[in-house]
Amino acid sequence: MQKQRVAIFASGTGSNAVNLIHYFKNHSEIEVVFVMSNKEDAKVLQSAKNLDVATFFLPNQQVANAEPLLDLCKEHQVDWIILAGYLRLIPSKLITFYQDKMINLHPALLPNYGGKGMYGSNVHKAVIANNENESGITIHFVNQEFDKGRIIAQFRCEIKEGDGVIELEQKIRYLEQSYLPIVVEKTILREEKRKL
Ligand code: GAR
């Protein structure tokens, strides 16, 4: 079987992108073909380069349209897209093209704490402000409704008394680092076997 070709979209630090790159480095069925960021100075681009993965920067005006993204993905024969800390809206045509082939990581238990403005530490601030006693991560397919695509997996963590945004952020990072690559791997392999 030909390897499944994965593109990662990311806007920031890229700890999840780096983790995915490491995980799939010598994988027999899945490979990361490039990392795309809408931020020229995003740390993720340098980190991916250091790991010998191709990188592309597309400014916000370009990622607002499907064509530049579709051209890039088609040119590199991308089968799957992983959104790992990608903070721009995905153009509808790209979502349709990659239906059930685009996976997003969200740092909360959707459907709670999703939607506009809910990204990164904004999410953790809102969770702490509401005195929740748990939070977690959601890995889901991307559909036309922001943060509302079919859920693939969720993982939870306890919020203890005295935990603030920093402590919660650490717990969420631990869940992301532990589970995102495995869930991506299982999802891709399951879908590909289903098609045989
Ligand atoms: C991650 O916590 C991810 O769940 C979150 O951004 C962070 C990116 O970290 N994504 C969202 O908030 C999407 N709505 P990273 O750049 O170190 O991977």
State pLDDT tens for residues 129-146.
999 999 999 999 999 988
State which amino acid sits at residue 27.
H
Predicted pLDDT at 123:
98
Any idea what the CATH number is for the domain that residue 155 is in? 3.40.50.170
Q: What tens digit of pLDDT does each residue of 56-113 get?
A: 999 999 999 999 999 999 999 999 999 999 999 999 999 999 999 999 999 999 999 9
DSSP 184: H
* 79 contact partners, CB below 8 Å, separation of at least 6: 4, 5, 6, 101, 188
Q: Which of 9, 16, 21 to mutate to test the pocket of ligand 1 (most atoms within 8 A of CB)?
A: 16
Among the listed residues 50, 93, 101, 51, the one whose alpha carbon sits nearest the alpha carbon of residue 70: 93
Contact between 155 and 181 under an 8 Å Cβ cutoff? The reply is no
Predicted pLDDT at 150:
97
124: annotated active-site residue: no
Answer yes or no: is the C-beta of 83 below 6 A from any ligand 1 atom: no
Report the domain count for the chain: 1
Q: Rounded CA gap, 159 and 171, in Å? A: 9
The answer to whether residue 177 scores a pLDDT higher than 80 is yes
Give me the domain span that covers residue 110: 4-195
Share of the chain above pLDDT 90, in %: 93
Write phi, then psi, for 38 (nearest 5 degrees).
Answer: -90, 0
Q: Report, as an integer, the average pLDDT of 10-37.
A: 98
Predicted pLDDT at 195:
79
Q: Rounded CA gap, 10 and 30, in Å? A: 19
Write phi, then psi, for 2 (nearest 5 degrees).
Answer: -65, 145
Predicted pLDDT at 151:
98
The closest residue, in CA terms, to atom 17 on ligand 1 is 15
More reliable by pLDDT, 123 or 192: 123
The answer to whether residue 193 scores a pLDDT higher than 90 is no
Predicted pLDDT at 194:
84
The closest residue, in CA terms, to atom 16 on ligand 1 is 14
